[in-house]
Structure 1
Amino acid sequence: MSTVIYTGKTSTAGGRDGASRSSDGRLDVTLSPPGSSGVGTNPEQLFAAGWSARFLGAIGRAAAERQLRVPAADAINAEIDLVSNDGGYLLQARLNAKLPGIEPDLARSLVGRAHQLCPYSEATRGNIAVELNVA
């Protein structure tokens, strides 16, 4: 049985040249197309921010399963590419994990497990190319 934990609600007007606001007012951003001189952010950046934040939480959960703690200086640098493909568009992603002080093989194992636990990874699995890297 599934239980909804949280529902994020936003309203966007004007598409890539518009604005998005959350129902609680905590998110209020101006949008502009990628590579433009507009002052706003774009959906690819927002997706990268959300996925990287949630993926870092999943790394913490993967570490906890092994009774480990991730270092305070941990980080996920997410890169989301918007790709033109045969008249359409698709996304691809790179999740670059920085886990200082954790042995590289263990870090790769935690990142792999996090990719199984993260709901953003689950939502994109099989739909877009995802590259996992450990710095």
Structure 2
Amino acid sequence: MSNLYTAEVTATGGRAGAVKSSDGRLELSLSVPAELGGEGGPGTNPEELFAAGYAACFLGALGVVARRQKIELDPASTMTARVGLRKSGLAFALDVELEGRFPGLSRAEAEALMHAAHQVCPYSVATRDNVPVRLKVAD
């Protein structure tokens, strides 16, 4: 099976370095958050990048699932990803919470859509049985 799309990003300098995509569309400085013992500079970090990707991808997957089920999503719908970094023995591990806000949908409809999207989103598939992911519908 071949990839439909492949993104290529090169990192230099680790967590206090930079990332740049091969197509030049992404070029960011990285900073280590103060909570991790860094200077907390103006750059982003791997957890924010993962959260951005997961939130966007999950909302896209949710849109696919909604269209399949003939449910119209309000364009104002949002997905917020919170990605935590924690110690796991001698290693580090991620922890994820996805919180969706869906104007016009009941809590039950929104929860059902989130669970269905969690089955097809590539980030969810990649993290399944490896990273705890909590799904939440905003109040």
Q: From 68, 78, 81, give the equivalent of 2:81.
A: 78
- In structure 2, the residue matched to 1:129 is 132
1:21 matches 2:20: yes
- In structure 2, the residue matched to 1:89 is 92
Alignment of 1:7-46 (within 5 A): 7-35=6-34, 36-46=39-49
Matched residue count: 134
Q: Which runs of 5+ in 1 are unaligned?
A: none
Q: CA deviation at 1:34?
A: 2.5
- In structure 2, the residue matched to 1:65 is 68
Q: CA deviation at 1:101?
A: 0.8
**TM-score (normalizing by structure 2):** 0.93
- In structure 1, the residue matched to 2:3 is 4
CA RMSD of aligned residues (A): 0.9
Secondary structure class of the residue paired with 2:103: coil
Secondary structure class of the residue paired with 1:24: coil
Q: In the alignment, residue 121 of structure 2 is paired with which amino acid?
A: C
Percent identical residues: 43
Q: CA deviation at 1:86?
A: 1.9
Q: From 117, 122, 129, give the equivalent of 1:119.
A: 122
Whole-Å separation in 1 of the counterparts to 2:43 and 2:78: 24
Q: Which runs of 5+ in 2 are unaligned?
A: none
Q: CA deviation at 1:39?
A: 1.4
Deviations 1:74-125 (A, max 9, x none): 1111000000122221001000011111011011000000000100000000
Q: From 53, 59, 66, give the equivalent of 2:56.
A: 53
Q: CA deviation at 1:46?
A: 0.1
Secondary structure class of the residue paired with 2:59: helix
State the 4+ residue runs in structure 1 displaced beyond 6 angstroms. none
**TM-score (normalizing by structure 1):** 0.96
Q: In the alignment, residue 50 of structure 1 is paired with which amino acid?
A: G
Whole-Å separation in 2 of the counterparts to 1:34 and 1:128: 21
Whole-Å separation in 1 of the counterparts to 2:17 and 2:27: 11
